[in-house]
Structure 1
Amino acid sequence: MMNYTRYTTLKAVEGLTVEQLDYLPQKSGNSIGALLLHMAAVEFGFQVEFFENRKPNERETEEWGAAYELGKLGREQIKGNLLKFYIKKLEDVRSRTLEEFKSKQDEWLYEEAPWGGVSANNYFIWFHTFEDELNHRGQIRILRNTLPSKL
């Protein structure tokens, strides 16, 4: 069963073609496809760091690095994918997050963890993860509204 967060993301991109997913309104911007993969990459990175207590390994960095960082690398590497590619990545990552959350007690949310050189609790860390997604969903809606009609 699809959760509400992913459902609202899907409604924003429903029916987009590869060309629309790859469209860059500015040379230094990000495409809708890149933003979708970025949302999955950020959540994956947080899974590794806070569920597994480690940094991404070389294979994971190779797979997710361009999506995590975006920028020039993202524009070069994230293109040519069908919408179902991005949706599968988003669903797979979120599915794991939800399964991990089921195994945690509420007290876990308040446990401190090092994050970006400071200490933060799991509640803040995961709130930030989902807040990041919400911001990118807003960007996606704006980008969709700027798509040329010829695409």
Structure 2
Amino acid sequence: MDNLYLIKERPEYAPQIGHLIAMMDYARHTTVETVRGLSTEELDCVYDEQSNSIGSLLMHFAAVEYAYQVSTFEERELNEEELARWGAALELGDAGRARIKGHELEYYIAALDEVRETTHELFRGKTDEWLYEERDFWYNRQANFYFMWFHVFEDEINHRGQIRWLKKRVQEKLGKC
């Protein structure tokens, strides 16, 4: 993390991939700093019947990243076994509220680290040209792998805003969770 604020090439990656990894790792660092020290009770608290818990949002980050590993590096959909592990975290909502709870922060950090480590390894074998390969994506549109991986950390940044909002309110709400 010595170069946390530098978006630049990294020797183990192609140049553009190094830039992408730098942005992803910074986003993850700020996420981890945002949740540092939260208790299981705080991670499980659901602000209202439509909200997701902080813990479920953390698992969502890991699940989205895993799903994009499968989608972009293997070019396939998640199988039943993978959906059993990651489905509730991908869907969030009722499924996430029902299944993602009761874990300490270390559980979520371990899931995030495990998935990110695999992402780093998978990117080491790719070229910058691969980033620009186009595939069918949302709503019958084309996207390249660069956009898809930008979306992984863009989604995390977006939901991290929710985490920050929830974190501020969780203390007042804890008696009702």
Q: For this structure pair, what is the TM-score category when the shorter chain's length is used for normalisation?
A: over 0.9
Partners in 2 of 1:10 and 1:97 — Cα distance?
17
Question: How many residue pairs get matched?
Answer: 151
* Conserved? CA contact 2:27–2:153, under 8 Å: no
SS of 1:113 mapped into structure 2: strand
Larger radius of gyration: 2
> In the TM superposition, what is the alpha-carbon distance from 1:89 to its structure 2 partner?
0.6
Query: Alpha-carbon deviation of 1:57?
Result: 0.7
Determine the C-alpha separation between the residues in 1 that align with 2:82 and 2:29: 26
Residues in 2 aligned to 1:111 and 1:150: alpha-carbon distance in whole angstroms: 47
Q: Give the drift of 1:6.
A: 2.4
1:30 is matched with 52
CA distance in 1, matches of 2:106, 2:27: 17
Task: Specify the code of the residue in structure 1 equivalent to 2:144.
Answer: N
Alignment partner of 1:66 is 2:82: no
My pick for the range that moved more, 79-88 or 5-14, is 5-14
92-101 vs 14-23, greater mean Cα deviation: 92-101
Find the counterpart in structure 2 of residue 102 from structure 1: 124
Query: Would you identify which runs of 4 or more consecutive aligned residues in structure 1 move more than 4 Å?
Result: none
Q: Does residue 81 in structure 1 map to residue 73 in structure 2?
A: no
Q: What is the TM-score of this pair, normalised by structure 2?
A: 0.81
Q: Is the 8 A contact 1:18 1:81 kept in 2?
A: yes
Q: Closer, same or farther in 2 for the Cα pair 1:67/1:150, shift >3 Å?
A: closer
CA-based RMSD of the aligned residues comes to: 1.6
TM-score (norm 1): 0.94
CA contact (8 A) 1:6 1:91 kept: no
User: In the alignment, which residue of structure 1 is the partner of 2:74?
Assistant: 52
The yes-or-no answer on 1:118 pairing with 2:125 is no
Counterpart of 1:104 in 2: which secondary structure? coil
**Structure 2 stretches lacking a partner, 5+ long:** 5-24
Equivalent in 30, 33, 43 of residue 21 of structure 1: 43
Unpaired runs of 5+ in structure 1? none
